[in-house]
Structure 1
Amino acid sequence: MLRKSTLLAAGLIAFLASFGACARNVVFLNNPSPQDVKDIGHYRVKSTGQPFFSDLVLFAANINGSTPNTPVLYYNTEMSAILKDNIDAVRQLQNGGIKVQISYLGNHQNAGWSCNMTSKTATRLGNAMVTDVVKYGLDGINVDDEYSSCSGSASSFYSVLKAIRSNPYFSGKTLSKALWSDSQYFRSPNNAANQLTEGYEMTYGGSVSYLTPYVGYGMSKSSLFLGISPEFSSASQAGSIAQSVASGGYQGVMIWAPNAFLDRAAAEQYYTEIAKAQIGSTESVEYVP
């Protein structure tokens, strides 16, 4: 008769194998070059030949404005180079099954996601984002409520999210949020969990416990990802974090800005350690030209 510990170990292995089949991993590229974008599609899980990443977030476009009620979307040199001059790099990823979102971020000005704006302005801002996502053929919007000189209005924040989700042209697309120190936006009657489709926790402390509050707010485990940064976690540590995410029943991990911290060989090693945790100890990730 098998010992109880052996049965438990076998059960965990079976669970992780099942998780690996459906795990998704998200990557944020910080002010990427067109080649950085193209490279993401070349990292493949060896056993399946499928892309290691399910989603790419282009980081970032900005929300500019001299007052909360005059927000304007702004695309810096890097974002413009991709969206206007190298959109084929995005299409290549999408044709390979990788979704591409764009993140909107405050820009040290008096406008942003949670600035105290009118309902009309919130709707106009949300619709402007959707218009550009449709224009560039992207798969979603990522919310990064930072670096505005005004902030803190849960009502305005919720109104922008609601405008995005209710826009018929946004149907079927992803509305994700950079999660960090934001409990004020997950309280009734303006609970952001009612509008978001996914969330990426960005404390980068390595603890799956950072995801727990969001389940309490109403988000499902299948919509939550734990952030890992190569700046703070080694490849082996990333593997341990990914295993804790899998064991906790969450969707996957988000990797922050590997284009800033990892060359091709280091990226292969980093992603391999995560794939081993998600799929099995013999798995690997390779850059396939």
Structure 2
Amino acid sequence: MFGKSALLAVGLMAFFGVGEASARNVVFLNNPSPQDVKDVGKYLVSGTGQPFFSDLVLFAANINGSTPNTPVLYYNAEMSAILKDNLSIVRGLQAQGIKVQISYLGNHQNAGWSCNMSSAAATKLANAMVADVVKYGLDGISVDDEYSQCSGNAKAFYSVLKAIRANSKFAGKTLSKALWSDSSYFRSPSNAADYLTEGYEMTYAGSVSYLAPYVGYGMSKNALFLGISPQFSPASSVRSIAQDVEDDGYQGVMIWAPNAFLDTASASAYYTQIVKAQAGEAESVEYVP
């Protein structure tokens, strides 16, 4: 026989639902094939039938240039195959509710996010990114400030972010950042937290403590994701990591390049460990061809 408190608990579970994860999960695909992209929408949570992933980041387009003031956007063969030849796959994911961002990355040249460029060059670069996001119907831009011959200019970095957010055609879209060894960009008077909608911590050490500094910089917990890579964190450890993320109130996890390390069966098993931490022991993730 149920007491009043037990009946109340049962009523609350019926009202709010059981086994529904509030977490979101992001996947980065490194130079993906069209099939890799299509597969993102095939990993479904068994209890809801909804996609396991809320967001896909296509990694990566590049910022090329011989001088900081003349940056040019470049799309390699893999990115071109998705955006120019198989855009219908992206539309299919979006129809499932999965947002698709594109990452822009330096390319071992004298141009990039934080090169010493003029304000005009920063605005031109930002507007070129936004124009392509609109052209391809994507949902956002992910910042990866690496692999440029020039870097570290905070003023230029802020100028690019500010111009992206100021562009009216970018309204409602995501501006995310790969977070790693970047504390200098989260200081007054210009703080990257003022421009970013979310961030993905990419140390891949498996510790939720790496997210805490970004809360101190002004980012909310529901904008932060802890990076996990199958290369460094085996399936036996990811449930514990995801549980720490859940217990500390962060938004979810970001999984780096599973297309490089996992086949569909092992990926399903890997994601199942994560969703059990997020939504309960009964949940699993299935690959549905």
> 1:77-226 maps to which residues of 2 (within 5 A)?
77-226=77-226
User: 1:136-159 CA distances to partner (integer Å, 9 max, x unpaired)?
Assistant: 000000000000000011110000
Q: Is the CA contact (8 Å cut-off) linking 1:115 and 1:150 kept in structure 2?
A: yes
2:274 aligns with 274
Structure 2 residue matching 1:214: 3-state secondary structure: helix
2:64 aligns with 64
The alpha carbon displacement at 1:21 in A equals: 2.7
Structure 2 residue matching 1:61: 3-state secondary structure: strand
Q: Is the CA contact (8 Å cut-off) linking 1:28 and 1:255 kept in structure 2?
A: yes
**Residues 200/275 of structure 1: CA separation in 2 closer, same or farther (3 Å cut):** same
> 1:217-256 maps to which residues of 2 (within 5 A)?
217-256=217-256
Partners in 1 of 2:288 and 2:193 — Cα distance?
38
**Residues 20/184 of structure 1: CA separation in 2 closer, same or farther (3 Å cut):** farther
Structure 2 residue matching 1:97: 3-state secondary structure: coil
The alpha carbon displacement at 1:236 in A equals: 2.1
User: 1:221-263 CA distances to partner (integer Å, 9 max, x unpaired)?
Assistant: 0000000000000112111110000000000000000000000
Partners in 2 of 1:24 and 1:201 — Cα distance?
15
The alpha carbon displacement at 1:189 in A equals: 1.2
Q: Is the CA contact (8 Å cut-off) linking 2:19 and 2:280 kept in structure 1?
A: no
Question: Where does structure 2 lack aligned partners over 5 or more consecutive residues?
Answer: 1-8
Q: Is the CA contact (8 Å cut-off) linking 1:19 and 1:246 kept in structure 2?
A: no
The alpha carbon displacement at 1:282 in A equals: 1.4
1:4 aligns with none
Partners in 1 of 2:49 and 2:121 — Cα distance?
46
Query: Which consecutive aligned stretches of 4+ in structure 1 deviate over 4 angstroms post-superposition?
Result: 17-20
Partners in 1 of 2:146 and 2:85 — Cα distance?
28
Q: Is the CA contact (8 Å cut-off) linking 2:19 and 2:47 kept in structure 1?
A: no
Partners in 2 of 1:187 and 1:220 — Cα distance?
16
User: 1:25-78 CA distances to partner (integer Å, 9 max, x unpaired)?
Assistant: 000000000000000000000000000000000000000000000000000000
Structure 2 residue matching 1:70: 3-state secondary structure: coil
**Residues 190/18 of structure 1: CA separation in 2 closer, same or farther (3 Å cut):** farther
The alpha carbon displacement at 1:19 in A equals: 9.5
> 1:48-63 maps to which residues of 2 (within 5 A)?
48-63=48-63
| Aligned AA (1:269) | A
Partners in 2 of 1:249 and 1:90 — Cα distance?
30
Root mean square deviation, CA, Å: 1.3
The alpha carbon displacement at 1:88 in A equals: 0.5
Structure 2 residue matching 1:60: 3-state secondary structure: strand
The alpha carbon displacement at 1:190 in A equals: 1.5
Partners in 2 of 1:199 and 1:152 — Cα distance?
19
Paired residues, number: 275
User: 1:190-229 CA distances to partner (integer Å, 9 max, x unpaired)?
Assistant: 1000000000000000000000000000000000000000
Q: Is the CA contact (8 Å cut-off) linking 1:26 and 1:255 kept in structure 2?
A: yes
Partners in 2 of 1:170 and 1:40 — Cα distance?
24
Partners in 1 of 2:52 and 2:284 — Cα distance?
10
The alpha carbon displacement at 1:18 in A equals: 8.2
TM-score w.r.t. the length of structure 2 is: 0.93
User: 1:247-283 CA distances to partner (integer Å, 9 max, x unpaired)?
Assistant: 0000000000000000011000000000000000111
TM-score w.r.t. the length of structure 1 is: 0.93
| Aligned AA (1:78) | E
